[in-house]
């Protein structure tokens, strides 16, 4: 159990070392050499590891010292103890230790550092971790709004800050994560439903692309590849006999250097190839021969890996995302007489078109998720559920198989339902009863 030391006064003792009593029979006190200098009260206690800790309080703050000691002992019993000095570490210093527990992927690390350095360190950097409280997080949310950041980006940053503070709680740096307080509202971007391109738009852009780059259309809209996966596709990844394609690598940029890396899911996947898509790939490869390209694996200085890339620059190098988007992709819209829409016309729109046509033709969510390389079919369902063909007509037919509808002379048979219209009086009676119940 800890105790509180009065650094200004001490028990008075006589020449023999016995306590001296005052006129009321209480222990007499005398001033120490520290009287009037510095903080008066010093709380001494042992932390859960048995190490002695202390905290000082000024004159007339004995109640605060007592409350602190009670709080410390209570936290120790409940396993919530946090060393007060641990929270004095500045945010900018603590976050450097946080990076090490995140994904080792070089590109992911680069993105994390960019987000934290540009949007958190300017606001929280010089603050002690224990000073990042609910009001401070609210101020930061306003600060992001004033900077004109989109709600979607604000949500990503908020979740990132919450992850950092969660780690600090687990490491006993701070008591709680203010981002999880009910009085702090996480940014809530409006729901954005995917709207697939009409086929006419896809064909217009396809015709407007340079012949050397047109292969991105069937690879994305016909196979569902991401842009980086298209840039990293080799001719050896095609299996013409099985009509399959293996997604084994992508091209990424790390520290402004092109590298090969695993697909986003961190594992390769096999995607079925339609005969028409395979024809377009064969025609393209006949016109533009694959080129051997060597890049480091995952990070600058990584192990060199060589692949015979299908799509390369005219100079025979791997494609760079920003240069391709600004120099090839966007200009194609102008040549096609189309307006480029920032949120809707990136190459990712072709993956949405692929997903919609797959669903329209009866491909299951699970199979589509595997083809797209999603980590979870639930994610695929959340993104594309509104594109799934309606099951209402199937439900009606299933009910009609049990409760036969009446045959109406002026009614045309329902197209494709294949259900016989019974004229049996008993069945007709059942249908009549069901109709009355529905009313």
Q: What is the Cα–Cα distance from 419 to 376, expressed in whole angstroms?
A: 38
pLDDT digits (tens, 9 = 90+) for 175-227: 899 999 999 999 998 877 888 899 999 999 999 999 999 999 999 999 999 99
pLDDT digits (tens, 9 = 90+) for 36-69: 999 999 999 888 778 888 889 999 999 999 998 9
pLDDT digits (tens, 9 = 90+) for 382-393: 888 777 666 566
**383-405: average pLDDT:** 73
Q: Which of 210, 224, 204 is CA-nearest to residue 311?
A: 210
Quickly state the pLDDT bin for 25 (edges 50, 70, 90): confident
The domains of the chain, with CATH numbers, are 3-81 (no CATH), 88-180 (1.10.150.130), 199-376 (1.10.443.10), 392-438 (no CATH)
Angle at 384 between CA 382 and CA 390, to 5 degrees: 110
Quickly state the pLDDT bin for 127 (edges 50, 70, 90): very high
pLDDT digits (tens, 9 = 90+) for 349-383: 999 999 988 988 888 899 999 999 988 888 888 88
Q: What is the Cα–Cα distance from 274 to 128, expressed in whole angstroms?
A: 58
pTM passes above 0.95: no
Q: Which of 51, 129, 144 is CA-nearest to residue 97?
A: 129
| Tokens of residue 10, six digits | 């001490």
Q: Are 333 and 246 in contact (CB under 8 A)?
A: no
Q: What is the pLDDT of residue 223?
A: 94
Angle at 246 between CA 244 and CA 247, to 5 degrees: 135
Beta bridge partners of 41: 6, 57
Pairing of strands 291-296, 304-309: antiparallel
**400-429: average pLDDT:** 55
In the predicted model, is pLDDT for residue 416 greater than 50? Answer: no
Q: What is the mean pLDDT of the chain?
A: 87
Q: Are 270 and 245 in contact (CB under 8 A)?
A: yes
């Amino acid at each position: 159990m800890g105790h509180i030391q009065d650094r200004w006064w001490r028990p008075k003792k006589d020449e023999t070392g016995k306590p001296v009593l005052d006129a009321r029979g209480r222990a007499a006190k005398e001033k120490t050499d520290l009287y009037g200098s510095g903080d008066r009260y010093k709380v001494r206690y042992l932390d859960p590891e048995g190490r002695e800790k202390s905290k000082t309080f000024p004159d007339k703050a004995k109640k605060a010292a007592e409350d602190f000691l009670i709080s410390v002992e209570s936290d120790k019993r409940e396993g919530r103890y946090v060393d007060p000095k641990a929270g004095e570490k500045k945010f900018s210093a603590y976050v450097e230790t946080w990076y090490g527990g995140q994904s080792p992927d070089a590109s992911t690390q680069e993105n994390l550092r960019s987000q934290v350095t540009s949007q958190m360190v300017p606001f929280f950097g010089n603050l002690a971790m224990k000073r990042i409280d609910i009001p401070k997080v609210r101020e930061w949310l306003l600060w992001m709004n004033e900077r004109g950041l989109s709600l979607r980006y604000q949500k990503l940053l908020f979740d990132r800050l919450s992850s950092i503070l969660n780690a600090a709680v687990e490491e006993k740096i701070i008591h709680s994560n203010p981002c999880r307080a009910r009085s702090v509202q996480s940014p809530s971007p409006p729901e954005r439903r995917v709207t697939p391109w009409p086929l006419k738009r896809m064909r217009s852009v396809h015709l407007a692309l340079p012949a050397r780059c047109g292969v991105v259309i069937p690879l994305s809209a016909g196979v569902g590849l991401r842009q980086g996966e298209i840039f990293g596709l080799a001719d050896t990844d095609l299996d013409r006999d099985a009509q399959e394609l293996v997604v084994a690598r992508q091209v990424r940029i790390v520290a402004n250097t092109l590298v090969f890396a695993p697909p986003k899911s961190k594992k390769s996947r096999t995607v079925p190839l339609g005969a028409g898509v395979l024809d377009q790939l064969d025609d393209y490869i006949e016109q533009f021969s694959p080129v051997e390209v060597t890049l480091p694996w995952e990070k600058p200085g990584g192990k060199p890996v060589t692949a015979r890339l299908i799509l390369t620059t005219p100079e025979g190098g791997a494609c760079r995302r920003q240069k391709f988007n600004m120099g090839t992709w966007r200009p194609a819209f102008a040549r096609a007489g189309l307006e480029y829409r920032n949120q809707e016309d990136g190459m990712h729109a072709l993956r949405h078109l692929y997903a919609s046509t797959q669903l329209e033709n009866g491909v299951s969510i699970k199979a589509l998720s595997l083809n797209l390389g999603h980590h979870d079919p639930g994610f695929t369902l959340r993104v594309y559920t509104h594109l799934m063909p309606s099951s209402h007509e199937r439900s009606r037919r299933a009910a009609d198989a049990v409760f036969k509808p009446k045959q109406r002379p002026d009614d045309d048979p329902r197209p494709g339902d294949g259900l016989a219209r019974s004229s049996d009086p008993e069945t007709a009676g059942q249908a009549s009863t069901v109709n009355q119940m529905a009313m």
